[in-house]
Structures are given as C-alpha cells and as structure tokens.
Amino acid sequence: GPRLLALAFGLLALSFAASTLRALWPPSLPAAGDWWSFTSPVNALRIAKGGVGAWLLVGLWRRLERDGAERASMFGAGMAAGLALTVVWIVAERSAFAGLLDFAADYRVTGPFSAMHRGGAYVECYLAIGLAFVLAQTLGARSAAARAGGVLLLAAAGYALAVTYSRNGWVAGALALAVTAALL
C-alpha cells in the first residue's frame, strides 16, 4: 500500500544521497575539466539532479491532489506548454542548422535536452509522451479555439518528432496517440 511505496521512495532517496556523497568524498576542489567529464566525481551531481527533479515532481503531484480531474487537467496543461516550447526550440534549431524542409540533411535535432550530445532518446520520448497529453487535452477541450490550438500543436509536434529521424520515436508517438485515443 501507500506505506510500502513511501518506504521504497525513502530508500531510493537514501541511496541517491549515499551514492552522491560517496562519489564526492573526500571533498576537494574540482579541476576545470571535472565539470563536463563523465568520469569525474562531479558527475555525481548531474546524476543526483535527476533524483531531485523526480522528488520535486512527486511533491508537485501530491500538492495537486485536491481533485483528480483538476490535477490531470493542470498536469496536462503543463505538458502541453512544455511540448509547445520544445517544438518552438526544435523549429528554431532546424531553421538555424538544416532548414525546415531540408529532409535530406543528416542533422538530427536535440531540442532542449542537453544530454543528447551523448546519444539517447530523450527528445523523441518527451515528444511522444507530450503528444499523448495534448491529444487528451484536445479531445476534452470545450472551445473550438482550444481544439484548433491542440490540433495545430499536434501537427507541429508531429513535425518535431519526424525530424528526430528516430524510427523508435515515430513508433512510440504513434502508439501513444493510438492508446490515448482508445482510452478516451
């Protein structure tokens, strides 16, 4: 139940804290290259940042527990805003480095995800999940303007997902849309 879940999250937090402290012990001033090296003890701070972000999200989610529908609506609106900002970033990036309609270029967008320089599927995963939230918001919208804005954002996010050139991302986006539509 809830107590077991709280215990599991508490143990996970202790693990993150102990691992971070272990990596940074004994304390010393970092060298200039330590801030971007993945083999430096300072990299523990980058990893711990993900745990802190997750804890902040859980805290926000619990704070919004007033009403399940209201929480879902507020979270969905936040995901839609995040998706819109990511799409704007990707469109600006494409226009600066490859051209919006130059699909022959090998340039792969990274969006606002700094970890993309090491590879990974961060941008396409975020786009796929964002598509599901925006579809749910669009189908539940009461005004024609909100529905039109949702459809426009879905189309723009589809373009952004297309220029990731990730077949896995394309499949994830299609599945996210299909599952969301089926559930609604």
Q: pLDDT 10s digit of each residue in the chain, 184 long? A: 789 988 998 899 999 999 999 999 998 888 888 888 888 899 899 889 888 988 888 887 777 776 666 777 888 899 999 999 999 999 999 999 999 998 888 888 989 987 776 677 789 999 999 999 999 999 999 999 999 999 999 999 999 999 999 999 999 999 999 999 999 8
Indicate if 93 and 166 belong to the same structural domain: yes
Indicate if 182 and 108 belong to the same structural domain: yes
Per the structure, the count of domains in the chain is 2
What is the rounded distance in angstroms from the CA atom of residue 57 to the CA atom of residue 52?
9
Contact residues for 57 (Cβ-Cβ < 8 A; gap 6+): none
Range of the domain at 184: 66-184
Where is the domain boundary, 13, 36, 63? 63
What is the rounded distance in angstroms from the CA atom of residue 133 to the CA atom of residue 91?
20
What is the rounded distance in angstroms from the CA atom of residue 175 to the CA atom of residue 129?
10
Give residue 156's pLDDT: 98
Give residue 7's pLDDT: 92
Indicate if 20 and 76 belong to the same structural domain: no
Q: Is 31 helix (H, G, I), strand (E, B) or coil?
A: coil
- pTM for the whole structure: 0.74
Give residue 66's pLDDT: 63
Indicate if 40 and 78 belong to the same structural domain: no
